[in-house]
Amino acid sequence: MTTTKRSWAEPYKIKMVEPLRVTTREERERALREAGWNTFLLRSEDVYIDLLTDSGTNAMSDRQWAGLMLGDEAYAGSANFYRLEAAVRKFYGYKYLVPTHQGRGAENILSQCLIKPGDYVPGNMYFTTTRAHQELAGATFVDVIIDEAHDPTSEHPFKGNVDLEKLDALVKRVGAQKVPYVSVAATVNMAGGQPISMKNLREVSEYCRAKGIKVILDATRAVENAWFVKRREKGYEHKSVAEILRETCSYTDGATMSGKKDLLVNIGGFLALNDEKTFEEARNLVVVYEGLHTYGGLAGRDMEAMARGIEEAVEEAHIRARIGQVEYVGQRLLEAGVPIVVPIGGHAVFLDATRFLPHLPQVAFPAQTLAGELYLESGIRAMERGIVSAGRNRETGDHNYPKLELVRLTFPRRVYTQAHCDVTVESVVELYERRRSIKGLRMVYEPKYLRFFQARFDRLEG
C-alpha cells in the first residue's frame, strides 16, 4: 500500500496547561437543572469542552504573553499604542486608529459620527451589537445579503455576498443622502461564518464610490474571510492571506474591529479610518466613552498583545489550522450523516436542530433542548441560535419563529486539540443515534430583554 497522505497536527506545542475536569452524568444533571437548561447559566468549572463562543476565549502565544510585560501604562502616549497603530497601518492599511475596549465600543463611536436620525444603514445581515448601535444613533438597518445566506442547505461558496440589486433598490427608494455607509461584515457571523468574495466587495465599493456612500468593514473576522478567498476565489490562490487582507480593506473607508476574535487576545478592539475629518470626531468622542485616544479603555499591555496578535493572525499555518479544525469537525459530522449548515463556516459548526430533532415542534425549543442534551451527554457547552435567541414579536407578543433553529459549536482559537475535536464529534454522533428518545422543553422563566441569556426551562414529560 502506498499512501502519501500524512496526518494534520496543530502548528504549535503546549507550554502551559489548564486542567479540565470530567464530570459525571449525575453532576451534569444537577448542574443543568440548576442552570434551568440554559448553557449561559452553567458555571465554567462544570464544563468539559467549552464551545459557547470564540469571543475573547483565545489562547495567547508566548510572544503575546511576553508582550504583556512590556506594557507601558502611561495615561497618555503609551509606546504600545504606537506599536498597535503601526501594526494596523501595515496589515489593514488604514491611516488612523482609535483603540476601544472591544468591538462594540468602536461601533458606538462610528455610529455616532456617521449616522443622522432617519438614516438607513444597509448591511450583509445584521450583527447584534452592530445593529443595536446603528439603531441607537437613529438609523434603520436594512438587510441586503443574498437570499442564499438564509438557506442552511445552499452550497453557495460566498453566502456573505451583498445583493447589489437589493442595495440599489434601497438607495433608489430613500436617496443616497440618507445612506451614510454600507456596513459590510467579512465573514458574516450570523450567517454561520460565511465569507464575502473579493469580487462582490469590489463591486459594492465601486457602486458606493459613485454615489458618495462610504463602505465600513466589520473587520472582526476579516482574516478568516481572507483564507476563504484564497481557497475559493479564482486569482487569489497564490496570494498571501496578508495581501488578501490588505486588498479587502482597500475597498473600504474604515473598519470596526473586535480583537477578541481574529486578533488572538482576550479583550480589545479598535476603530480604523482613512478620512481625517471623521477620525478627528471619533478621536474626540472616544474620550467620552472609552478613555483617552491613546488607550481607549485598554491597558498598555492589552494593546501590545493585540499588536502582536495582528501579526500572528495572518500567518498561514495559524489560519489554516484554525479554520481546518472547524472544517475537520464539520466534515466528520457530515460523514456520520448529522445535519449541519453547509458550507462549513470559519468559526463554528452549526447543528441543524430542525432536522436533528424532527419530532419536536419549534415551540418545544429544539435547539435549546439539543444544547442541553449535548451537555448532559458529554459536558460540552454549545449555544442555542433559534427561537429563544429570536425573542418575541413586539406587536403580537408571540415568539418570533426564525427559519433557522441551530446549535452553534464555536471553536476558540488555539485552545483545543484534535483529540478534543474527536470527543466532540463522537458525542454529537452518539446523541444523534438516540435522538428519537429526546424530549423537548418548556420555558418556565422569561426575562424581558435578550431572553436567551437568562431564560429558564424544564423538561417536557410524556
- The residues annotated with a catalytic role in the active site are 75, 127-128, 218, 261, 385, 452
Q: Is the dihedral of CA 115, 121, 123, 127 positive or negative?
A: positive
Cis peptide before 447 (omega within 30 of 0): no
Place of cell 441543524: 352
User: Which of 291, 375, 409 has its CA nearest to residue 42?
Assistant: 375
When binding is defined by CB under 6 A, the residue of 261, 322, 381, 451 that contacts ligand PLP is 261
Nearer residue to ligand PLP within complex by CB, 103 or 372: 103
**Among the candidate windows 218-226, 287-295, 418-426, 448-456, which touches ligand PLP by CB under 6 A?**
218-226
413 binds ligand PLP (CB under 6 A): no
**Among the candidate windows 170-178, 217-225, 322-330, 389-397, which touches ligand PLP by CB under 6 A?**
217-225
Burial of 448 (0-12, 13-18, 19+ CB in 10 A): exposed
Nearer residue to ligand PLP within complex by CB, 28 or 214: 214
159 binds ligand PLP (CB under 6 A): no
Nearer residue to ligand PLP within complex by CB, 221 or 414: 221
In sequence order, the 6+-apart residues with CB closer than 8 A to the CB of 226 are 241, 244, 245, 248, 314, 319
Given 3-state DSSP classes, what are the helix, strand and coil percentages for the chain, each rounded to the nearest 5? 45, 15, 40
**Among the candidate windows 67-75, 110-118, 256-264, 310-318, which touches ligand PLP by CB under 6 A?**
256-264
Q: How far is the CB of 249 from ligand PLP (least distance, A)?
A: 15
- Could you give the C-alpha distances from 183 to 126, 213, 427, in angstroms and in order? 9, 11, 38
Nearer residue to ligand PLP within complex by CB, 32 or 223: 223
Nearer residue to ligand PLP within complex by CB, 48 or 270: 270
Nearer residue to ligand PLP within complex by CB, 266 or 362: 266
CA–CA distance, 317 with 301 (Å, rounded to integer): 26
Per-residue contact flags (x/-) with ligand PLP for residues 22 to 51, judged by CB under 6 A: ------------------------------
CA–CA distance, 377 with 424 (Å, rounded to integer): 10
Q: How far is the CB of 460 from ligand PLP (least distance, A)?
A: 33
Q: How far is the CB of 339 from ligand PLP (least distance, A)?
A: 24
* Residue closest to ligand PLP, measured at CB: 103
Please count the CA atoms within 13 angstroms of the CA of 215 that sit on its side-chain side. Answer: 26
Cis peptide before 39 (omega within 30 of 0): no
260 binds ligand PLP (CB under 6 A): yes
Nearer residue to ligand PLP within complex by CB, 267 or 429: 267
Contact 28, 378 (CB under 8 A): no
CA–CA distance, 374 with 410 (Å, rounded to integer): 14
H or E stretch at 254? strand 254-258
Neighbours of 172 (CB within 10 A): 9
Burial of 210 (0-12, 13-18, 19+ CB in 10 A): exposed
Three-class secondary structure of residue 26 per DSSP: helix
Nearer residue to ligand PLP within complex by CB, 49 or 191: 191
Residues from 92 through 111 that contact ligand PLP (CB under 6 A): 102-104
When binding is defined by CB under 6 A, the residue of 57, 134, 258, 278 that contacts ligand PLP is 258
When binding is defined by CB under 6 A, the residue of 80, 220, 294, 410 that contacts ligand PLP is 220
When binding is defined by CB under 6 A, the residue of 108, 189, 194, 252 that contacts ligand PLP is 189
**Among the candidate windows 159-167, 255-263, 418-426, 433-441, which touches ligand PLP by CB under 6 A?**
255-263
Place of cell 458550507: 343
User: Which of 462, 460, 439, 443 has its CA nearest to residue 451?
Assistant: 443
269 binds ligand PLP (CB under 6 A): yes
Residues from 166 through 185 that contact ligand PLP (CB under 6 A): 185
**Among the candidate windows 8-16, 125-133, 394-402, 418-426, which touches ligand PLP by CB under 6 A?**
125-133
Nearer residue to ligand PLP within complex by CB, 188 or 198: 188
When binding is defined by CB under 6 A, the residue of 38, 108, 130, 354 that contacts ligand PLP is 130
Could you tell me how many residues make up the chain? 462
Q: 82-117 burial, b for 16+ CB within 10 Å, e for fewer?
A: ebbbebbeebbbbebbbbbbbbbbbbbbbbbbbbee
When binding is defined by CB under 6 A, the residue of 38, 39, 55, 252 that contacts ligand PLP is 55
Q: How far is the CB of 323 from ligand PLP (least distance, A)?
A: 15
When binding is defined by CB under 6 A, the residue of 83, 131, 133, 221 that contacts ligand PLP is 221
Q: How far is the CB of 130 from ligand PLP (least distance, A)?
A: 5
Positions touching ligand PLP (CB under 6 A) are 55, 102-104, 127, 129-130, 185, 189, 218, 220-221, 258, 260-261, 269
